[in-house]
Structures are given as structure tokens and as C-alpha cells.
């Protein structure tokens, strides 16, 4: 491998509420971190109290983005205006391309008391913002897992150690959920020009040749380089690794819409109001 990516910036998420009153941690899309092109939002939903999430996310629209929901524990039921839907149980992924417009809902199904999952937004490039919507549901059996000594990596999209994820994406996106045992190391090549970051959801470790410490709740935005190296601490380390090429285009955000100009955002709201969004 070539140059190891070092930490450029560390960000902590903040407690927020969304949907009909869901308590969550907003990691990207906050006053501290608006976006990391093309990643527009990263929310962590993690609670043992159903009151934190039972209200769910009733019907709401999207345009100009892809939303990726990854469930680790608990479940949400998805329905959308294009006829897509299903139950996202533990280990499931929903990769929804909103394109020109879609209206969907995500409501919890409480079988136990625990819920743990993530929602990620990707801004589509200008040429794809008004494409036809698409819905992908992946069960755990559809998602490859790489297991070696001290390492378990769920490959949602992208590639790890020659194993490719099965998600259909509009452009290359790496989305890995890695669990590294105490004292073990994780190494992964990444494309030098891509935006790359790592969100620690469990334990702690050190990143890069400089061995800078990271702990649960840290989002490490990584500087340029072509590999990511993490050594797990005494409690092991679990994290999401995200990478994609930046769009390098203007961004206009308005609620559930991400476009390139404020006028396009206003048009999206008009279309939603008039029933012509999708």
C-alpha cells in the first residue's frame, strides 16, 4: 500500500430529533459539519428505550439524493410511493435512489427494546438528480462478509480483500462495517482522490501511521492517501468506513431535498405541494 490516510479532522455527533420525534445522533448534516462531499447526512439511531424511536418517520419526500439505511439491531418497515417496501431487520440494508422524487415512510417494528441503525445520504451528481427512483432491499444473506483472524467486515458496497458488495450504485461508493478484535489491525486500500471517513461505533483504536486515538462516537475525516490503517485498542474497535468521489458541484439543501441551486429546492417544494414530485 502507498500513503496511509491520516486524520484531518475529528467531529463528534450531537443529540437531535427528526421524523415525528425520533431521538438520534446527527454526525453529518450538523452545524459542526454540513457535509463531506458527496455525503450529506449520517444519523445514528441507537437506543434501548422505544420512546426514543417509536414515533418513527411518517411519509416524507426526497429528491436529488440516495438514502441508505443500515440496521444492526431492531427493525423498521419501509413503504414508498413507487411500490417499494419491506421490513428492515437486523443486518438488512435499504438503498433508495430518490432521483426526481419519491415519498416514503420508515416506521419502527418493536420486537424487543433495542434499536441500532444508520441512515446515510449521498448527493447525486447533477446529471443524475432527476433520474427515475429505484429501491433496493438487501437481506443479510445478500451482503457478503469477510472474516479473518481478528477481523469481521460487512461489505455493503465497494470492495474489501477481493470481495465486492452487491449494492447497485450510481458511482463507486465504499461502505464497510468492520469489527476488529483487541490488538488486531485493519488495512484497506482506498482511491486517493475520494472523500474518506471513518465513524467509530464501538470501542477504540488508533488511526494512521501517526496512531492518533479514536473512540466511540468519533467521526474521523481522513486526509488524502491511498490506504486506511486502524489498530484496535484493548476493547476492540467497530466502525463504518465510507468513501466516494466528490461531486465538486454546488450544493443547495432544503429539508429532505438536496439539489444544486436554491431555485431547484423551491421547485422541489412546489412539486411536492402540487403532487407532481413523483
Task: Read off the C-alpha cell for 103.
Answer: 415519498
Task: Read off the C-alpha cell for 229.
Answer: 490503517
Q: In sequence order, which residues have a C-beta less than 8 Å from that of residue 90 and are 6 or more positions away?
A: 71, 72, 73, 74, 75, 140
- What is the DSSP secondary structure assignment for residue 142, as one 8-state letter? G
- What is the DSSP secondary structure assignment for residue 182, as one 8-state letter? T
Domains of the chain: 7-267 (2.60.120.10)
pLDDT < 70 regions, the chain:
1, 111-112
- What is the DSSP secondary structure assignment for residue 264, as one 8-state letter? H
* Segment 124-140, tens digit of pLDDT: 999 999 999 999 999 99
Q: State residue 85's pLDDT score.
A: 81
If we measure between CA atoms, which residue out of 8, 6, 28 comes closest to residue 16? Answer: 28
* Segment 194-253, tens digit of pLDDT: 999 999 999 999 999 999 999 999 999 999 999 999 999 999 999 999 999 999 999 999
Q: State residue 1's pLDDT score.
A: 54
Q: CA–CA separation, 1 vs 189, rounded Å?
A: 7
Amino acid at each position: 500500500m502507498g500513503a496511509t490516510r491520516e486524520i484531518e479532522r475529528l467531529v463528534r455527533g450531537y443529540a437531535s430529533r427528526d421524523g415525528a420525534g425520533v431521538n438520534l445522533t446527527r454526525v453529518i448534516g450538523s452545524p459542526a459539519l454540513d457535509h463531506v462531499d458527496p455525503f450529506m447526512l449520517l444519523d445514528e439511531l441507537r437506543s434501548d428505550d422505544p420512546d426514543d424511536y417509536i414515533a418513527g418517520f411518517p411519509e416524507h419526500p426526497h429528491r436529488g439524493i440516495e438514502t441508505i439505511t443500515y440496521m444492526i439491531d431492531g427493525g423498521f418497515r419501509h413503504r414508498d410511493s413507487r411500490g417499494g417496501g419491506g421490513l428492515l431487520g437486523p443486518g438488512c440494508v435499504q438503498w433508495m435512489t430518490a432521483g426526481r422524487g419519491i415519498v416514503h415512510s420508515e416506521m419502527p417494528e418493536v420486537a424487543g427494546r433495542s434499536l441500532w441503525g444508520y441512515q446515510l445520504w449521498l448527493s447525486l451528481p447533477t446529471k443524475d438528480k432527476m433520474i427515475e427512483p429505484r429501491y433496493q432491499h438487501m437481506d443479510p444473506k445478500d451482503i457478503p462478509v469477510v472474516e479473518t483472524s481478528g477481523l469481521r467486515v460487512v461489505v455493503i458496497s465497494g470492495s474489501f480483500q477481493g470481495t465486492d458488495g452487491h449494492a447497485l450504485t450510481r458511482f463507486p461508493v465504499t461502505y464497510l462495517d468492520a469489527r476488529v478484535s483487541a490488538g488486531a489491525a485493519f488495512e484497506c486500500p482506498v482511491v486517493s482522490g475520494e472523500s474518506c471517513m471513518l465513524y467509530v461505533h464501538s470501542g477504540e483504536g488508533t488511526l494512521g501511521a501517526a496512531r492518533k486515538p479514536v473512540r466511540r462516537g468519533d467521526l474521523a475525516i481522513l486526509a488524502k492517501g491511498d490506504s486506511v490503517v486502524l489498530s484496535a485498542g484493548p476493547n476492540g474497535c467497530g466502525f463504518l468506513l465510507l468513501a466516494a468521489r466528490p461531486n465538486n458541484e454546488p450544493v443547495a439543501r432544503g429539508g429532505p431535498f438536496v439539489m444544486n441551486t436554491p431555485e431547484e429546492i423551491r421547485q422541489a417544494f412546489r412539486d411536492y405541494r402540487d403532487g407532481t414530485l413523483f
